[in-house]
């Protein structure tokens, strides 16, 4: 193998943007078999691994089952990961993720996590397993369930206090 062969590719921006960009990066670096079902890319074989690590130590690992977009259609990608015990959804965003590296030799997506943002409703950290959403006006971030419940009850943003509402599909919009 040539020493110049690239085996690690940073895909952070692609992950934060949308599943299609992630798939493009994966496909150009490895032989990936998948089926696209609506907006979700379902892996045909379970060769792609995903690991979470924090400050250099790994704390979660499994096989990627599918990569899909966020339910409210905001930017970002969701990874469904099979740990053998359960299926877990990973929601890497700028609020909880330092960087995402594709290790081509190991068929591995390595996510370095960090708690950088607190939920503007409950005040707790937004973690990698949490679905995140934000105010469309001031972009304050929060756990998805917390902000949609808040807006349903109060019809305002908890931070900028502007009028908001929630659609029947859970999308927060400017009222
Ligand atoms: Zn919260
Ligand atoms: Zn706001």
CA 122 – ligand 2 centroid, Å: 15
The pLDDT of residue 2 is 54
Between strands 40-43 and 34-37, the pairing is antiparallel
Averaged pLDDT, groups of 10, the chain, 175 residues long: 76 97 95 94 94 95 96 87 96 95 96 95 96 94 96 98 94 93
The pLDDT of residue 4 is 64
Closest ligand to the CA of 140: 2
Instruction: Tabulate helix, strand, coil % of the chain (nearest 5).
Output: 15, 40, 45
- Tokens representing residue 153 in the block: 């009850």
The pLDDT of residue 169 is 86
The pLDDT of residue 3 is 57
- Tokens representing residue 175 in the block: 């009222």
Cβ 88 vs Cβ 147: under 8 Å: no
Closest ligand to the CA of 174: 2
Residues, CB within 5 angstroms of ligand 1 (ion):
119, 121-122, 143, 146
Helix (H, G, I), strand (E, B) or coil at 167: coil
Closest ligand to the CA of 161: 2
CA 4 – ligand 2 centroid, Å: 47
Helix (H, G, I), strand (E, B) or coil at 84: coil
């Amino acid at each position: 193998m040539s020493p110049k062969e690239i085996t690690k590719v940073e895909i952070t921006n692609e992950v934060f943007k949308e599943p299609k960009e992630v798939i493009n990066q994966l496909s150009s670096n490895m032989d990936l078999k998948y089926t696209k079902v609506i907006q979700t890319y379902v892996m045909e074989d379970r060769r792609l691994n995903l690991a979470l690590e924090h400050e250099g130590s790994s704390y979660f690992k499994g096989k990627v089952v599918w990569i899909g977009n966020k339910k409210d259609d905001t930017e970002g990608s969701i990874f469904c990961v099979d740990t053998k015990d359960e299926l877990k959804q990973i929601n890497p965003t700028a609020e909880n993720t330092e960087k995402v590296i594709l290790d081509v030799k190991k068929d591995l997506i390595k996510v370095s996590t960090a708690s950088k943002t607190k939920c503007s409703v409950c005040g707790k950290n937004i973690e990698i397993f949490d679905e995140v959403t934000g105010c469309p006006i001031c972009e304050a971030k929060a756990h998805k369930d917390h902000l949609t419940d808040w807006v349903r009850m109060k019809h305002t943003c908890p931070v900028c206090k502007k009028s908001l509402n929630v659609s029947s599909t859970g999308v927060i919009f400017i009222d």
